[in-house]
Chains A and B, each alone.
Chain A
Amino acid sequence: MMALAAAALKIEQVAVRFGGLIALSDINVTVGEGEIVSLIGPNGAGKTTLFNIMTGFLHPSHGSVSYRGAVLNGMKPHQIADLGLIRTFQRTSVFPNDTVYDNLLIGLHRQGRVGVLEAMLGQPRARALERRLRERAGALVEWVGLESRAHDLAGSLSYGEQRLVGVALALAAEPSMLLLDEPVSGMNASETHTFVQLIRNIRDRGVTILLVEHDMPMVMSVSDRIVVLNYGRIIAEGVPDAIRNDPAVIEAYLGQGAARA
């Protein structure tokens, strides 16, 4: 076991029921500051449900989630975003009818708050802020390497490029912790490789990362720690090498025969 840094995110005894269906039960996960933790598990294991709980899109039937000491239960998604806990989405990760550049300007919402009256009257402070936001959006476009696509509609980009825009959007919101929901699905091998570099870069800026992903080589190479979910329960937790050889994990993914073999 590695020594844990100060805990950033704490999930304690979380359970979720949809009517009679138990989607998650007795989930306890702690993510330390500056860690890269991956959440893996077969389809339907409850990974996205857990993401939705952490970001206020769903509320747990039992248990609590806290981030940097603040209890998130009952908070709305935008309030959780204000704490610096920002997520991306599996499928619809962009604003499709806006250009990539405008997508990032929307993502910079938290940095751009100015009185509506000030904005309508076109006051100097509002205009100066607007200029700064535009510079920042330009820098973010460059940082994810989409300069040549900056003025194309986000909806017209390839799947892999849209994922990049989604991550840039989340970064625009200045997260202290980033929740990435299957960020490399739809990317080819070289795009994935670049993306792994990007994730490490983000972590080096001091951002804690929690990742849901199916791409095992990518998960194994990037994670400090891995949490495995199956049927709404945690079945294993540990460093990549331990998870790779864990019989319970192999069974969950490949079936009983494979585990015995």
Chain B
Amino acid sequence: MKAAVAIVTVVVFASVPLWLRDPYLMNALITTGIFIVGAMSLNLLLGFTGQLSLGHIAFFGIGAYVSALTSLGFDAGLPFGFRIVHDPWPPVAGLGLAIVIAGLCGYFVGLLSFRVRGAYFVIVTISFAEVVRLVALNWVELTQGPLALTNIPSITIGLPGVGDLVLRTKLQNYYLVLAVAVAAYILISRLVHSHFGRAMRGLMENESLAVSVGIDVTKTLTLAAVISAAIAGAAGSLYAHYIRIIDPEVFAFINTVTMVIMVITGGKGSLAGPVVGGMIFGLLPVLLRPIMAPEAQWIAYGGVLIVILFVLPRGIVPSLAQRFARRRSRAKTVTPGVFSERDAEEHA
């Protein structure tokens, strides 16, 4: 049943370019897809360990900058008269490095901040994102500061027998993002269904009990932070090579907030949640633009957000799944006419 829904979803997404010709909407779908991958990585922390990272965009931005700089090359000065010179590498190497370096940053943030939980973790992650933004803004020699890194090359993949394929068009990038999103989804799904995922759930639900059956808190939470940051870094790299221009605005707080909204409305702790929430809040601004005045768009955006949280407080996917399950069990156990509707609710 779940597998069928997943396959249908992938097929529907794969067929979009066949009937959607509007390049503007295609662009919106691609950037939304990239942000959904970011939201999935955030969900791994927020939904499965209960830790809110309000600086999650830092890992995304680090991935974007690392990937861009790796493929552009740079020549930057270091303290004590050292210089670091790097010749351009292929963008795929940039993607790999983005994953590794974002993961490393996740390791250090995790190590530092899982000693301090809850609100302290939130503050450490916000500060981390702000520090990284200031570095990107002020280390002009490396990052061009507010002038932005431009002309970032598109991703090139070598296909056996075909030669190098440069993913320049929207159509190619759409499928690249779809492939990465599916891969990220499968990885996260396997992870949360493995013993490691159960360790995370255990820690979130009852930490004392979890450690008493042998679960290592620091190791589990740090590893979750590393994997989450690495996936966010991959999303950032895709973003850099698709948009092809990166400036420090990528670290803006609103980008983290957008990801958090995607996860919370879709349903934290649910694998499909960030996808559903991401499609709604990624595309909503784009869909509202032609039919509303700019100032009304954000009011509508906020209105939709509030309505969803009121009607489905646990998030769209978990709330609907629960209703669906209740209806099914009612159909199985209740003979029509014997119980009133209200009784059936209670028995379900």
> Hey, which chain B residues are within 8 Å of A106, CB to CB?
198-199, 201-202, 210, 213, 215
The closest CB in chain A to the CB of B202 belongs to A106
Chain B, interface size category, equals 20 to 34
The CA of A76 and the CA of B217, in the complex, are separated in Å by 10
CB pair B214–A81 under 8 Å, yes or no, is yes
Q: Tell me the smallest distance from the CB of A90 to a CB of chain B, in Å.
A: 11
A169: B residues at CB distance < 8 A:
209, 213
For residue B202, which residues in chain A have a CB less than 8 angstroms away from its CB? 95, 106, 109
- Whether B198 and A78, one on each chain, are in contact in the complex, defined by CB atoms closer than 8 angstroms, is no
A40 close to chain B: CB less than 8 A: no
The answer to whether A78 and B217 have CB atoms under 8 Å apart is yes
Q: Is A176 an interface residue (CB 8 A)?
A: no
Which A residues touch B191, using CB under 8 A?
116, 119-120
B335 close to chain A: CB less than 8 A:
no
- B322 in the interface (beta carbon within 8 A): no
Cβ–Cβ < 8 Å partners of B187 in chain A: 120
Determine how close the nearest CB of chain B comes to the CB of A64; give it in whole angstroms: 21
How many residues in A have their beta carbons less than 8 Å from beta carbons of B? 41
**CB 8 Å contact bits of B11-40 with A (1 = contact, 0 = none):** 000000000000000000000000000000
Cα A89 to Cα B214 with chains together (Å): 14
Instruction: For the complex, give the distance between the alpha carbons of A105 and B209 in Å.
Output: 13
- Report which residue of B206, B211, B212 has the largest number of chain A beta carbons within 10 angstroms of its beta carbon: B212
Tell me the nearest residue of chain A to B190, going by C-beta: A120
User: How close is B228's CB to chain A, nearest CB, in angstroms?
Assistant: 13
Q: Does B223 have its Cβ within 8 Å of any Cβ on chain A?
A: yes
Bound complex: CA A252 to CA B211 (Å) = 34
Determine which of B198, B199, B212 lies in contact with A81 in the assembled complex, contact meaning CB atoms within 8 Å: B212
Asked whether A122 is an interface residue with its Cβ less than 8 Å from the other chain, the reply is: yes
Which of A96-104, A208-216, A232-240 forms part of the interface with chain B? Answer: A96-104
Quick one: CB contact mask for B64-86 with A, threshold 8 Å, 1 for yes? 00000000000000000000000
- A110: which B residues are within 8 A, CB to CB? 213-214
Given A92-B209, A97-B205, A105-B198, A122:B190 Cβ within 8 A = yes
Residue ID in chain A nearest B216 by CB atoms = A78
Chain B residues contacting A116 (CB-CB under 8 Å) are: 191, 194, 196, 223, 227
Partner of B212, one of A86, A98, A121, A126: A86
A173 at the B interface (CB under 8 A): yes
Q: A25 — which chain B residues lie within 8 A by C-beta?
A: none
Q: Contact check, B206 vs A92: say whether CB atoms are below 8 A apart.
A: yes
CB distance from B282 to the nearest CB of A (A): 26
Pairwise interchain contact A78-B209, C-beta atoms closer than 8 A: no
**How far is B197's CA from A95's CA once the two chains are assembled, in angstroms?**
14
Contact status B209-A93, CB under 8 Å: yes
| 14 A–B pairs (Cβ distance < 8 Å), ordered by A | A55-B212, A57-B208, A76-B211, A78-B214, A81-B211, A86-B212, A86-B214, A95-B201, A95-B202, A98-B205, A105-B195, A109-B199, A133-B195, A172-B213
Contacts A110-B214, A116-B223 supplied; 14 other A-B pairs, CB < 8 Å = A57-B208, A77-B208, A92-B208, A92-B209, A98-B201, A102-B198, A106-B201, A119-B191, A120-B191, A122-B190, A126-B194, A130-B194, A170-B212, A172-B213
